Amino acid sequence: MRSGIKNCMAALLLSAAALAVPALAQTQDAWPLSPALEKDLAARASDVTEVTLGKNMLAFASKFMNGKDKDNAAVQQLIQGLDGIYVREYDFDKDGQYSMEQIEQLRKAFETPEWQPIVRERERKSGETTDVLMKMVNGESHGIFILDAEPRELTLVLILGPIRMEDLSKLGGIGGLGGALGNVEGIAPKGKKGGGQ
């Protein structure tokens, strides 16, 4: 009898783990910052902004929007379709608080056929680099990754789900995103619609 209960418990635990692992892996696959690197950057930075909104939280947050208003309804619809919004913004007191190897590591995480670079900017004088990549699935955009590295500022934005470049400005109202997206909004190529939507 006891061993039966034990077996049931073990089966339940295994099922729960089996369900939880893919859900976790989905985000962790896309999120390029390892916990160690994230901790290291946060420890060196003078100001840190982190926004972590998974699908469930976004769905819930969208309910707070007034769907009767035309503009709000469009944002609500956009947010409801997204799988996640992740933002990290680090401000540093001095130069050299992160290495170019670390930036390369971040870029390499997106060197897959799905992620296509749409902006690649390197300013030799200021040392600023900007990368904007779009996740394309069957000709439609299913994510945007923005990496903006300045000598004293590092910004990472990852938006998963159906989104276009011009939608970025609509998300500015979400806490913390306004500032982070403001940095990169101007760099989007004007003609790029980001997929067949």
Partner 1 sequence: MTSMRWYLLIPACVLLLLVPVVVLAGGDGGFDGVVSAIETRYNAHATRIPLMGLMSVVSGTATHGGMGNLHVAEFDNFTAQVDGNELDRMVEQKLGDGWERVIRETSRKGGEQTLILMRPEGARMGLFVLDLDGSELDVVQVSVDPDHLQDSIGKYSHHDHDSSD
Residues that bind partner 1 (CB under 8 A): 39, 42-43, 45-54, 56-57, 60, 63-64, 66, 68, 175-176
Least distance to partner 1 from the beta carbon of 71, Å? 14
Least distance to partner 1 from the beta carbon of 67, Å? 8
Look up residue 171 and give its DSSP letter.
Answer: G
- Burial code (b: 16+ CB inside 10 Å, e: under 16) for 96-123 equals ebbeeeeeeebbebbeeeebeebbeeee
Which residues does 192 contact at the CB level (< 8 Å), separation at least 6?
118, 165
> Are 100 and 118 within 8 A, CB to CB?
no
Nearer to partner 1, 65 or 118 (CB): 65
Nearer to partner 1, 6 or 63 (CB): 63
Q: Measured between alpha carbons, how far is 194 from 144 in angstroms, rounded to an integer?
A: 9
Nearer to partner 1, 54 or 172 (CB): 54
> Are 187 and 102 within 8 A, CB to CB?
no
Least distance to partner 1 from the beta carbon of 56, Å? 7
Nearer to partner 1, 173 or 196 (CB): 173
Least distance to partner 1 from the beta carbon of 44, Å? 10
- 47 is written with which tokens? 């100001």
- 127 is written with which tokens? 């040392």
Least distance to partner 1 from the beta carbon of 92, Å? 10
Nearer to partner 1, 84 or 195 (CB): 84
